[in-house]
Structure 1
Amino acid sequence: MFMGEYQHSVDEKGRMIIPAKFRDALGVGFVLTRGLDNCLFVYPHDEWEILEAKLKTLPLTRADARSFVRFFFSGATECELDKQGRISIPATLREYAGLVKDCTVIGVSNRIEIWAADRWQSYSNDASESFASIAETLVDLNL
């Protein structure tokens, strides 16, 4: 399980250190792709396979399902950690997420999210103000 929030930076070559607490759970190889809310998602292979199986069940006849699957998979790339615990983030994904220098890496249960630090700050400020009301709307999900 991934949890916590860490501050890191992307270097001029597009490399970023993955927090040490996340490395073992990621394993040797993992998948990096576009996430929702203009961040990047990182999945260990076992979690990626579960998600992939679910996405395969979406109806091909629905335009929104086709669009989501195309967007999600076209941005996906296999990653490995280098000897310093870094990953290389492709330019297209850095551009999508607005990653220039400072970034925030968060653990979200079965995945890691990589955010541009300013976007995460803005998102978390907005979410923290409405956290209680969000929780109230989720009451129907038996949380």
Structure 2
Amino acid sequence: MFTGEYHHNLDTKGRMMIPAKFREDGYNEFTLTRSLDGCLSLYAVPEWKELEEKLQALPMTSKQARTLKRFLLGSAISCECDKQGRILIPQTLREKASLEKDVVLLGVGDHAEIWSESLWEENNDFSDYEQLATDMEGLGI
């Protein structure tokens, strides 16, 4: 399970360090793809395979299913950590997520999100605790 918030820098080649905690249990290979809120999603191979199976099972007759498959599968790439524990984020994905130098890696359970630090700061206002409590209740938590 991926948890925690990590602040990193992309180097000039677009490489980013993956925390050692995320590489436990032999996780050195990941799938990287676009995500819904303007960030990227990073999956360990077993979790990605589960999601991929669900996506493949969606009916081709559904426009929503085709759009979702294009969005997630069309931008997905396999990436492996180098000896320093870094992955290379391709330019196309960096552009889609507005990643420049300062990035935030956020563990959210079965995957991690990679955010532009400035975009993360705009999206992480969790100060309305009453609304969070209402949302949790609505989700059955």
Percent of matched pairs sharing the same residue: 47
- Partners in 1 of 2:10 and 2:46 — Cα distance? 26
Q: Which amino acid aligns with 2:94?
A: R
**Which residue is equivalent to 1:75?**
75
Show CA shifts across 1:68-97 (max 9, x none).
111111110011001111100000000011
How many angstroms apart in 2 are the aligned matches of 1:81 and 1:44? 11
Gaps spanning 5+ residues in structure 2: where?
none
Matches within 5 A, 1:43-122: 43-122=43-122
Report the AA paired with residue 86 of structure 2.
R
d(CA) in 1 for partners of 2:114 and 2:26? 14
User: Match of 2:130?
Assistant: 132
Residue 141 (structure 1) aligns with: 139
TM-score by length of 2: 0.92
- Give how far 1:30 is off: 1.4
Equivalenced residue count is 141
Partners of 1:20 and 1:43 lie apart in 2 by: 15
1:37 partner SS: coil
Q: Unaligned 5+ residue runs, structure 1?
A: none
Q: TM-score, normalised by structure 1?
A: 0.91
Distance 1:135 1:48 in 2: 30
More displaced 10-residue stretch of structure 1: 36-45 or 21-30? 21-30
The amino acid across from 2:7 in the alignment is Q
Task: Give the structure 1 partner of residue 31 of structure 2.
Answer: 31
Task: Give runs of ≥4 in structure 1 deviating > 6 Å.
Answer: none
* 99-108 or 23-32, larger mean C-alpha shift: 23-32
Looking at structure 1, the residues matched to 41 and 133 of structure 2 have their Cα atoms a distance apart, in angstroms, of 23
Q: Deviations over 1:106-139 (max 9, x none)?
A: 10111011000000111002xx134531441342
1:28, CA displacement in angstroms? 2.8
Aligned CA RMSD, in angstroms, stands at: 1.5
Counterparts in 2 of 1:34 and 1:70: CA distance versus 1, 3 Å: same
Are the aligned partners of 1:26 and 1:44 in contact in 2 as well (CA < 8 Å)? no
User: For 1:96 and 1:102, how far apart are their aligned partners in 2?
Assistant: 15
Q: Post-superposition shift, 1:19?
A: 1.4
